[in-house]
Amino acid sequence: MKSVATRKLTRLFVVGLMTGLALVSYGGRVQADLAIINGTDQYAKPKLEKDYQKANQKHKNDIAVQILGINDLHGGLDTTGDVKIGDKSYSKAGTVSRLAAYLDQAQSHFKSVTESDNTLRIEAGDAVGAAPANSTLLAHESTMHALKAMKFSIGTLGNHEFDHGLPEFNRILTGKKPDNSADKLLKNYPHRTSGVDMIVANVVNKKNQKIPYGYQPYIIKTVKQNNQTAKVGIIGIETATLPSLTLYQNYKDYDVLDEAETIAKYDKILREKGVNAIIVVAHTGVETKTDTTSGQSVAILNKLNDLSPDNQVGLYVAGHSHQYANAKVGRTQVVQAVYTGKAYDNSWCYIDGKSGRFTDVTSHVYPVLSAKDDPKTKSDKTVANIVKDADKRVNKKVSQVIGYAATNETITGRLHNNDTLENQAGELVADSQLAAAQHAQLNPDFAMTNTGGVRADLAVNKRKAITWGAATAVQPFGNILQVVDMTGAQIRQALNQQYNENQHYYLQIAGLQYTYHKSDETNPSDRVIEMRDTHGTSIEDTKNYRVVINDFLHGGGDNFTAFKNTKIVGAAGTDTDALIKYIEEKTRTAQKVTAPQLNRKIAVE
C-alpha cells in the first residue's frame, strides 16, 4: 500500500455511469476528506501475493473471513478482453468458466493459509443486462444458472436489473416461469432459482416505503474460528443515479434513497444488534488510477463519515463504473474488479472475537487469465457446460448471417475511441438510427445516441460476414427510437452537456458535424463553437430540427437533460432492429458495411 492523498474540499457528491462528477455540496459544509491510501496489485494470483502467502501472526487469534467479489458481469458468460489491473495488463481475460476456477483457487488458498472456512461470494449489481445473446435470448436465466454454479450467495441491484422492469428480474432471480407471450426458446429453458440473496437498503416502493419483493436491506452472517463467534453485517446499496440510467416506466414505482444516509441508518441498526463488522456491497462507481482513487463511492464514504464518524464499515465492494479500484478510504477498504468477469476481488478480513470488530482488511484484484496465459488452470466443467448448453440453444438465431462488410476487419466500439471520443461502431449505430427514421418517413435531420448503449465491437468474420448475434451484441437493449423536435440551441446544449462531467457521458452522432474548444478550461456549457449538417450548412440556434434519439435519452438518461420532454414527432422502431436492418440494406448495395470516418467532432485550440 502506498500513495497517501489527503485533501480538504467542499463535500462533493459524485454521480455517473463512469464515475462522473456532478458537484453537489452537503449542507454547504467544508470538511476534510478522508485520507486515501491507494493499493498496489502486481500479481496475477493470490498465492504469489506477499500479503497472502502466510498467516499473519498478529491475527492468529482473530476470525478470518474472505470476501470474493465481482461486479457488472453483464451476462458475459464467455466474454473476453484486455484488462488492466494496477500497472499490469492482461490479454483475453475472462469467461465465467475460468472465473469459477479462479474463485475456487482463491478460496482454497485462503483456507490453506488461515485455516478458515469463512468465505462469502458476493456480486455488486448489473449481473445481467447489456449482454451477449447466450444470456439475452434466454432472458439471462443462463447467467443465473452460472452464478449459482459459482456459489454466489449475496448480491445487490444495479441499474440493468431494471432493464425489463424489476418484476422480470425477480422472476429470473427466483426461477419462476415466464408468461405465455415468451419466446419458445425461453419457455423451453429450465427455470431455477439462483440461490442469490438480494439485499438492497435504499430502493423502496413509493406507496409504502417498503423494500420490494421481500428483499432485505442487509444480511447477517455468523462466522466462527478459534472457538470464537462473530457476526458480519452486509448492507446492499443501489446507485441513487438510477433515474438517469433506465427508462421512467422501470423506476417510476420506486424511490432510491441517498446512499450515505442509508448506510448510516443500517450501520446504526446493525451495531445495535451487536454486529460490529460491516460490509457494504454497492453499485456505485470508483476508480484507482495514477495514484488517485476517486468517484461516487469515495464521495459516499466521505458523507457517511460526516454523518456517522463511528461507523464500522470496513469493506466496500463497489461496481457500476467498470473500473479497477483498490484503496483504503479512511478506515474502509474499497475495491472494484473491472467488469464482465475479467477480474475478481479477493478481500481477507480479520475480526476480533471479543469486540466483533474488524482488526484488518486487505484487498487485492486479480485477472481471470486466459488458457494461453495460464494453461495449468482448467475451466470449471459445470459452469462450462452451462455456457455450452446456452450456446447450443441460441446458436441457430445467433449465427444467422444478416449482411457483409467491405472488409473482414472488426468495426471497433467504445474501447477504441479516438481523441474526440468517436468510435466506429457507435457512429454506425447513429447512422442506422438516422436511416430507420428516414424509412419511417419522419424526415429526420440528425441522430444522436448515448455511447453507453453501444455495448461491443461489431464482429466481422473471415468471410466478411456479420451475424445477428454480432449486431445484437452491439445494440442489446431494444430501446425505442423517437424522433423529436429540437431547436438548434437545444442541440447545442445537448452537445455541450457531453463536457459537463469530464466526458464520462458522451454521444455518437449522425447527420451533423461540429467544432468545439479542445481546452477543458472552457466553460462546459460553451464548448461547442459551430454546428453544420452534412451539406455544410450551419445549424441555427433559432431554427427547428428533427433529431432521432432513443427513449432512454428522451427521459434525460445519462444526464442529457437537453433531450428531456422534447416534443415527440413519431417512433421509428427499436435501436436493435434499426442496426440489423441497416446492415441488411447495406449488404444489398455494392458498398457493403464500412466503418465510418471519425470526423464528426472536431477539436480546435
Rounded to two decimals, what is the model's pTM? 0.84
What structural domains and CATH numbers belong to the chain?
A: 2-386 (3.60.21.10), 401-604 (3.90.780.10)
Question: At residue 568, what are phi and psi to the nearest 5 degrees?
Answer: -85, 125
- Give 456's pLDDT tier (boundaries 50, 70, 90): very high
CA angle centred on 272, ends 267 and 275, rounded to 5°: 65
- Give 17's pLDDT tier (boundaries 50, 70, 90): very low
Does the pLDDT value for residue 13 go beyond 80?
no
Residue with cell 409504502: 208
Which residues are within 8 A (CB) of 317 and not within 5 positions of it... i.e. 6 or more apart? Answer: 67, 69, 71, 122, 124, 279, 280, 281, 282, 335, 336, 345, 347
- Per the DSSP assignment, residues forming a β-bridge with 458 are 411
* Grid coordinates of 502: 469530464
Q: State the Cα–Cα distance between residues 84 and 90, nearest whole angstrom.
A: 6
pLDDT of residue 478: 83
Which residues are within 8 A (CB) of 350 and not within 5 positions of it... i.e. 6 or more apart? Answer: 56, 59, 62, 63, 64, 65, 358, 359, 360, 361
**What is residue 421's three-state secondary structure?**
coil
Q: State the Cα–Cα distance between residues 336 and 283, nearest whole angstrom.
A: 10
pLDDT of residue 25: 35
Predicted confidence (pLDDT) per residue in 288-322, tens digit? 998 899 999 999 999 999 999 999 999 999 999 88
* Grid coordinates of 32: 476534510
CA angle centred on 286, ends 321 and 84, rounded to 5°: 70
Are the beta carbons of 17 and 501 closer than 8 angstroms? no
Does the pLDDT value for residue 11 go beyond 80?
no
Residue with cell 423536435: 485
Question: At residue 349, what are phi and psi to the nearest 5 degrees?
Answer: -115, 140
Q: State the Cα–Cα distance between residues 345 and 41, nearest whole angstrom.
A: 11
3-state secondary structure 469-493: HHHHHHCCCCCEEEEEEEEHHHHHH
Rounded percentage of the chain residues whose pLDDT exceeds 90: 85
Which residues are within 8 A (CB) of 288 and not within 5 positions of it... i.e. 6 or more apart? Answer: 38, 39, 86, 323, 324, 325, 326, 327
Predicted confidence (pLDDT) per residue in 152-208, tens digit? 999 999 999 999 999 999 999 999 999 999 999 999 999 999 999 999 999 999 999
Closest CA to 201 of 152, 257, 272: 257
